[in-house]
Amino acid sequence: MPFLNDQERKTLYYICDTLIPSLEPSGGDDPVLFRASADDINLPNLMEIAYERITTREERRKIKFLLRALNNGLFNGLIAGHWSPIKDMPLPIREDLLFKLATSRHELARTGFLTFKRLAAFLFYSVREGDQPNPTWSALRYSTPPPVDPEPDPIRPHVIDKPTTLETEVLVIGSGAGGGVVAGLLAQAGHEMIVVEKGDYYADHQMPNDELTSMNTMYEKRGALMSEDSTIAIMAGSTLGGGTTVNWTASFRTPDYVLREWEQVLGFSGATGQALQDSFDAVIARTNINTDESTANPNNQKLDAGCAALGYTSEVVPRNVKGCEVCDFCNYGCQFGAKQSTTKTYLRDAYDAGAKIIVRGHVDRILHDGGTVRGAVVTVTDSDGITHNVTIKAKVVVLGAGSIHTPAIMLRSGLNNPNIGANLRLHPTTVTTGLYDDEIFPWRGAPLTRVVIDFKNLDGNGYGVWLENAPAHPGLNGQASPWTGARQHKRVVQQLPHTGNIIILTRDRDGGQVSVNRYGQPTVKYRLSKYDAAHLLFGLKESVKIHAAAGAREVASPHNDRPVFHASTGANGALDHYLASLDRRGLRPNDFALFSAHQMSSARIGGDAARGAVDPTGQSWEVRGLYVADGSALPNAPGVNPMLSIMAVAHYIAGHIASRL
């Protein structure tokens, strides 16, 4: 249903036409790319449909307010000095208006600009008509994976086609790194099991093979989950297997100093013990974590080269793969079944042991009375889109719904521990890009096979940054690339085949919060603290040095006005001058690209109810038989890509559940 009126829709048209107009190519501009425009695909209509799907009522009200404001000459005059509605402005003036919004000293203006730019750029460079490629892809020499043969023995989810009541010994909610592990171990130990997953299931051969479809079907909120103030974009899997289906396979043990902090400060007794180390070993063996299949693609090779030139350490990343086919689409699921996600390992073990797996199941609340868990109330959507109310009675309920939805379920269920939803950690991440003479094709190959850990302890207390590479497909690249004008942005996009990136991840000391809105849905509040921002800025500058040392012609920061270091001016301290300018600029909210693919600690383990939502065995302090075994149980940020940490802690918790059963 459309939610914009005619005037608002017309304003959105002018915004799209300003962001992505048809331009006459000049110099080396690709004619197809530069003549393509938002109008060609009716981008405003696509955006309105997308907003309707991904935003709350309150967010839609804000969008309507922004559209009305941009059609007001007084607002535009105060923001940009152009005293007329956007509809009356020629294209160059509209460009200047949007640029001044993007770089305004007012956070609300910057947020408003990004509200439109992020979605417009992602859709424009990812949308397809039927099976035809996006028309801009030819300029990038980009293509999607070909179809593969059907998987011979896929998981067959349990069919729910009417309201019903089910009974089981163990109910696991969520199927990713936490829930999937617990389900596999307990089902194999002979315990009756039901697994409920909010997302859908895709066998290997059913994995979507383009960005837009993948985001729409396999990511939380269609890939558009944001913090409440839109300062940080949050990528979270929402499909059977959760994040293990769509992540980049990096698999690190939790550092010893983090385990000591968990035990000594936060009361996770056993964090430094042998049992947890045995859980790490078991998960590594079951998911085939190894470095033999961590071949560096050109993007990772540039990271290697820059580190070698500067004397930094670039380590090989262990990955949970077996027979990796390097399909160029790792972050959207593995068509070849090489990624050892929970659907290929622990969840498959549960299924083979007789567990019922229910997909498209939204858990409304946990049932409990007298301080003991009784089950859950679930709304299941069948394959025809019809919803059914399902009550599942269980002796044990394990929450593995992830660090956004696990605390939301607990809050909807009437639990009151103050740590529920608090202490959210996100490993805030930003990115720098380097333009190289060599072809990089940053979407090709295994996406993340090298890591720089030299800066992980900047404060002497285990807090700092680490550097990696990321896959860059056209849609996400267009979304993340700063826009200072239509021609500039298209030229940056056209350079994608020669663009390398380095992402900077922070072990955040200071956290955020998950709460529920009036409709019971989770909202994320998170502000990058000055302490953590200082670390992120340090890592950003180090990544610039690495790009320059690796031979990049240009290096760009993630700021909205895209300040660029040109290597041709590298003499006479030009690089130092550029780095000093980044210091002066700092990291203001919504003035630079900030995102997270890791969510943790929002229902954390603690030595007592004052320090955690659950005890050191994962059991709720408030409800007997209710456990948390996912990223939200981690006491704080591990400071490494967290999949293995989550799986090992879940394995450890499963052992405690089994002993009590």
Q: Give whole-number Cα distances, 283 to 43, 392, 455, 649, in Å.
A: 45, 29, 28, 10
Pairwise CA distance, residues 151 & 348, whole Å? 13
Pairwise CA distance, residues 223 & 234, whole Å? 8
Amino acid, single-letter form, for residue 31: P
Pairwise CA distance, residues 636 & 512, whole Å? 11
Q: Strand 429-435 to strand 499-506: parallel, antiparallel, or no bridges (unpaired)?
A: antiparallel
- Residue 583, exposed/middle/buried by CB under 10 A (0-12, 13-18, 19+)? exposed
Which tokens go with 78? 């105060």
Pairwise CA distance, residues 451 & 474, whole Å? 24
> Which residue stretches of 501-638 are H helix?
530-549, 574-585
Q: Give whole-number Cα distances, 136 to 18, 208, 475, 482, in Å.
A: 18, 20, 11, 18
State the greatest distance between any 2 C-alpha atoms of the chain, in Å, as a whole number.
74
Which tokens go with 150? 């059907």
Pairwise CA distance, residues 409 & 623, whole Å? 13
Using an 8 Å Cβ cutoff, are 575 and 583 in contact? no
Task: Please say if 388 is a catalytic residue.
Answer: no
Q: Strand 356-358 to strand 289-290: parallel, antiparallel, or no bridges (unpaired)?
A: unpaired
Which tokens go with 577? 């001058």
Cβ of 549: how many Cβ atoms within 10 Å? 18
DSSP, residue by residue, 353-406: TT-EEE-SEEEEEEEEETTEEEEEEEEEE-TTS-EEEEEEEEEEEEE-SHHHHH
Q: Give whole-number Cα distances, 438 to 12, 301, 403, 416, 467, in Å.
A: 39, 11, 40, 56, 21
Amino acid, single-letter form, for residue 463: Y
Using an 8 Å Cβ cutoff, are 490 and 35 in contact? no
Name residue, tokens 């998981």: 155
Using an 8 Å Cβ cutoff, are 526 and 520 in contact? no
Pairwise CA distance, residues 587 & 334, whole Å? 35
Using an 8 Å Cβ cutoff, are 293 and 324 in contact? yes
Query: Can you give the length of the chain in residues?
Result: 661
Q: Which sign, positive or negative, has the C-alpha torsion 569, 572, 575, 577?
A: negative
Map residue 104 onto helix, strand or coil: coil
Pairwise CA distance, residues 607 & 623, whole Å? 16
What are the backbone angles phi and psi of residue 601, rounded to the nearest 5°? 75, 15
Which of the residues 368, 498, 547, 598 is marked catalytic?
Answer: 598
> Which residue stretches of 143-255 are H helix?
179-188, 211-218, 243-246
> For 605-628, b where at least 16 C-beta lie within 10 A, e where not — what string?
bbbeeebbbbbbbbbbbbbebbbb
Query: How many secondary structure helices (H) and strands (E) does the chain include?
Result: 21, 20
Q: What are the catalytic residues?
A: 598
